[in-house]
Amino acid sequence: MSIMIKRVIKVNKIKILDEIKEMAYAVGEIQLEHFRKKGISIERKSSSIDLVTQVDKACEYYIIKRLKENYDFSILSEEKGIISRKSDYQWVIDPLDGTTNYANGYPIFSVSIALMKGDDTILGVVYVPILDEMYTAIQDEGAFLNNQRMSVSRKSDLNQCLIGTGFPYDRSTNEANNINYFSYFTPKLRGIRRSGSAAFDLVNVANGILDGFWEINLSLWDIAAARLMIIESGGIVKRLENKRGFSIIAGNEAIVETLNTGIERVDKND
């Protein structure tokens, strides 16, 4: 990528963010238009519970088309995979995070769009259409919900915490399915939530609604935008390097350390 384009990115991050927000709003309208409507086609991917709907595909098509028209960056999207261009920058897209929820009419789902340079997310958007909640972040410039600055929870005791988690699609066939960690942590917490959308869970960590989060075997498109929001809200996203996929713990420093200690203890006993 030329030096000129790099300078444009630096100068116009706010303009780019505004354009991505507009895309996310448009995709949210598509999702709401078809939500709980009969006749939506549903296909299966890696397993009988790993779904993709025609709405996922329509949203992805819209986002990719707009990005190709306006930017000469690589793209990684959940359904299409990698669309490679010679660029230092990459869009990472989850057009409908929470497909199982959506397909069943459960009203928690989101769209996530991130712009990355190397391993760093430099801006991100997560939009939750059913709540009309627009989460945004620019690297080193804070994270916001509907233009109000966010901050992570400051709780440190697990028994006072509401923690989010989730389970991989192959949980019936792979022993690394999070059931052991779930069983360990549940009695120690004030409450535990499994929303079905990792992006939704993570932005709620950024906003201090959830005090922490852990999950194993996520994909980059699940976390690319929301992890920047957690960092920009004063939190930490720790990757569990010895686990499969993108396995992470998120929250403030104390909670991340406590959850990590618990996971290590379970691993040792197993």
What is the model's pLDDT at position 8?
A: 46
Residues 103 and 140 in one domain: yes
What domain range is 173 assigned to? 158-269
Backbone angles phi, psi at 38, to 5 degrees: -75, 150
What is the model's pLDDT at position 5?
A: 47
3-class SS of residue 214: strand
Q: How many helices (H) and strands (E) does the chain have?
A: 8, 15
Residue of 154, 143, 146 whose CA lies nearest to 230: 143
Residues 89 and 177 in one domain: no
Q: Tell me which residues of the chain have a pLDDT lower than 70.
A: 1-11, 44-51
pTM here is: 0.91
Residues 27 and 141 in one domain: yes
Domain boundary among 87, 116, 149: 149
Look up residue 214 and give its amino acid.
W
Residues 190 and 123 in one domain: no
Q: At what angle do helices 13-34 and 54-70 cross, to 10 degrees?
A: 160
The tally of domains found in the chain comes to 2
What is the model's pLDDT at position 3?
A: 43
Residues 171 and 138 in one domain: no
Residues 192 and 265 in one domain: yes
| Token pair in block for residue 171 | 């949980």
Domain boundary among 103, 118, 149: 149
Residues 142 and 187 in one domain: no
Residues 34 and 78 in one domain: yes
